């Protein structure tokens, strides 16, 4: 169970650039739920994710993971409980390390790192096994540096890395936005498969209303740092993109002028 209680974040407080990013958001995510988060630019989606991963410390409010207050925990400590895939395919791995070394880094998340060799026989076997499931032929390229991979391949590996060890919540930050549609669809399918198979509690930020409704079991819409729509299960099942738009307009009482939300 992940609980966000009355979170507020303001960037550049006390300067002319002062922008409230989150204004008292509260959200409870039961174990095993797959939540998609949608909203226009500046709605606070990424900030919400950064607060969960520990990269941004909220001014007020609490982050509870299984009833433990993790609000003051720095990112590296939080990583034990929260795994993350970044929007930029280059951000999730080290370009100059090999595929096997990157997986070894991820395989040690959540436990103490040792002086022993990182790329062991066991790790190579496990890495091969996991990579083979991608069907990208990467299992034969364990010793290739990560920089030789395409953006889509890197993002698929990032997803594997994030889900290698157990976690309390998987954070996906528009992780298909920078990919071309075909490989993007592949990564979405892979996400579904991994999350479904392991019953991971997941929070996926997306820019596409289509994706927000197609993937996951619950959809939350943010606007100006607040939750304006929260639908799950039966209510969500029959929803179409147009309905979502309509509901959004009703809640906000204003026209939606962000084309990016309509497209895709």
Partner 1 sequence: MSLIAFLGTLETGLIFGLVALGVYLSFRILQFPDLTVDGSFPLGAAVAAVLIVDAGANPYLATLLAAVAGAGAGLMTAWLNVRLKILNLLASILTMIALYSINLRIMGRPNIALLGEPTVFEPLDRLGIPGTMAVPAALFVVVVIAKLAVDWFLTSEIGLAMRATGANPRMARAQGINTDFYTLAGMAISNALVALAGALFAQSQGAADVTMGVGVIVVGLAAVIGGEAVILPRTIFLATLACVAGSILYRVAVALALNAEFIGLKAQDLNLITALLVAGAMVLPSVRAPVKRALKGDKRIVGRLK
Interface with partner 1 (CB under 8 A): 53, 55, 74-77, 79-80, 83-84, 86, 91-97, 101, 104-106, 108-110, 113-119, 161
Query: What is the smallest separation between the CB atom of 27 and partner 1, expressed in angstroms?
Result: 21
Which candidate, 89, 99, 97, places its Cα nearest to that of 187?
89
Record the tokens describing residue 121, joined without a space.
């026989």
Distance CA 30, CA 48 (A): 17
Q: Which is nearer to partner 1, 11 or 185 (CB)?
A: 11
The upper half-sphere exposure of residue 135, i.e. CA atoms within 13 Å in the direction of its Cβ, equals 5
What is residue 181's DSSP assignment? H
Query: What is the smallest separation between the CB atom of 258 and partner 1, expressed in angstroms?
Result: 28
Q: Which is nearer to partner 1, 119 or 256 (CB)?
A: 119
Query: What is the smallest separation between the CB atom of 209 and partner 1, expressed in angstroms?
Result: 27
Q: Which is nearer to partner 1, 114 or 182 (CB)?
A: 114
Which candidate, 89, 18, 53, places its Cα nearest to that of 203?
53
Query: What is the smallest separation between the CB atom of 86 and partner 1, expressed in angstroms?
Result: 8
Q: Which is nearer to partner 1, 96 or 259 (CB)?
A: 96
Which candidate, 12, 85, 19, 23, places its Cα nearest to that of 48?
23
């Amino acid at each position: 169970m992940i609980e966000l209680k009355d979170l507020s974040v303001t960037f550049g407080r006390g300067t002319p650039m002062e922008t409230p990013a989150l204004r008292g958001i509260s959200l409870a995510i039961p174990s095993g739920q797959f939540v998609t988060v949608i909203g226009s630019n500046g709605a606070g989606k990424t900030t919400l994710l950064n607060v969960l991963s520990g990269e941004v410390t909220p001014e007020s409010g609490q982050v509870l993971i299984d009833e433990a207050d993790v609000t003051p925990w720095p990112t590296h400590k939080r990583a034990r409980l929260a795994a993350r895939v970044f929007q930029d395919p280059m951000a999730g791995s080290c370009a100059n390390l090999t595929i096997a070394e990157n997986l070894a880094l991820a395989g040690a998340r959540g436990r103490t790192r040792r002086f022993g060799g990182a790329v062991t026989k066991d790790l190579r076997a496990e890495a091969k096994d996991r990579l083979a499931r991608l069907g990208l032929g990467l299992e034969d390229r364990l010793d290739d540096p990560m920089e030789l991979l395409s953006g889509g391949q890197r993002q698929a590996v990032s997803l594997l890395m994030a889900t290698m060890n157990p976690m309390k919540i998987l954070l996906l930050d528009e992780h298909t936005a920078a990919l071309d549609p075909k490989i993007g669809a592949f990564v979405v399918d892979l996400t579904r498969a991994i999350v479904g198979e392991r019953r991971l509690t997941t929070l996926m930020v997306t820019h596409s209303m289509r994706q927000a409704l197609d993937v996951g079991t619950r959809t939350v819409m943010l606007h100006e740092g607040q939750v304006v729509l929260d639908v799950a299960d039966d209510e969500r099942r029959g929803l179409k993109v147009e309905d979502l738009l309509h509901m959004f307009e009703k809640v906000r009482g204003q026209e939606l002028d962000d084309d990016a939300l309509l497209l895709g």
